[in-house]
Amino acid sequence: MAKIVFLDEYSLGGYDLSAISSLGEYTGYDRTTAEQVLERCKGATVVISNKVYISRETMQQLPDLKMIAISATGMNNVDIEAADELGIVVKNVSGYSTDSVAEATLGSALALLRNSVYYDRYFKNGSYAATSDIFHFGRPISLLKGKNWGIIGLGTIGHRVAYLAEAFGCNIAYTSTSGVAREERFPRKELNELLQWADVVSIHSPLNAKTAGLIGKAELETMKPTSIIINVARGGIIDEAALADALNSDTIAGAALDVFSSEPLPASPLYDLKDPDSLLASPHTAWAADEAVKVLIEGVATNIKNFLLPLR
């Protein structure tokens, strides 16, 4: 029976993992530090990891390791080149979070445009109860309908966001971060042109040499003062210090971030904004709808099953 080790079970939120654990001699760890990886993986045929890094040096010391199952889409937690050289199969799961991330993107835009967090707090902190006014106009409320929505990275998630935003009555355009020209039904714009045009900008591209620091001071200053930007892709694509400055100086109206340059994010100017309501932030949860996590678990189980089948 194959030995299966999961290095960071906590990353799947405490969901039922029996679809995976039933596939072999299973050991699951809530969290694993870099120093613990080698010892915990010894003797394992299959190692599952979401964010724990598995290096060339570690793989070289694991002669029994035949497969690394990534419980995510991103594969930057494994030295892929080394795995290939060592004959270790690496499998990820794609597509499980498309709807979850797309809906989180639309929800962020709606929350920022309607200032939902401000009005929720106004009610809950007693301010509404303390007034005789039926209405309160403390912050502007704006429609999503009719807005220009610019998408950075029109991949699977970008397409889904475009579909949802279009259903709300938005005008859609995109820019390609790969430089690959494809025939799309939405107009393509260069980045600066897109930023000047858009009322809402959402980022759905991978973090790589082309996108690291893609949105900095100059790019933010190109945007409209009434515009908002949303990053649900990868931290590091937006310069966080530049974003804090842009929010503090009213260069743009708002931002929503689900990803950060360092996760968790240590001391940052984003924690001390002049207007905290200009930023909507969440701890990398855009992907984690209940339905999406369950599909991810099934995807990991299927990858392992398909790998182990010829070995039985």
pLDDT tens for 250-280 read 999 999 999 999 999 999 999 999 999 999 9
pLDDT at 34: 97
pLDDT at 310: 76
CATH level 3 topology of 3-96+291-311? Rossmann fold (3.40.50)
* Spans of all domains in the chain: 3-96+291-311, 98-281
What ranges make up the beta strands (E) of the chain? 3-6, 25-28, 46-49, 67-70, 89-91, 148-152, 171-175, 200-203, 228-231, 254-257, 279-281
pLDDT tens for 72-82 read 998 889 999 99
The pTM of the whole model exceeds 0.85: yes
Active site residues: 234, 263, 284
pLDDT at 312: 58
pLDDT tens for 203-235 read 999 989 999 999 999 999 999 999 999 999 999
pLDDT at 179: 77
Parts of the chain with a pLDDT under 50: none
How far is C-alpha 238 from the geometric centre of its chain's CA atoms?
A: 13
Domain 98-281 in the same topology as domain 3-96+291-311? yes
Q: Using CA of residue 279, residue 291, residue 96, residue 170, what is the dihedral sign?
A: negative
98-281 in CATH: which number?
3.40.50.720
pLDDT at 286: 98
Let me know if 38 is exposed, middle or buried by CB neighbors in 10 A (0-12, 13-18, 19+).
middle
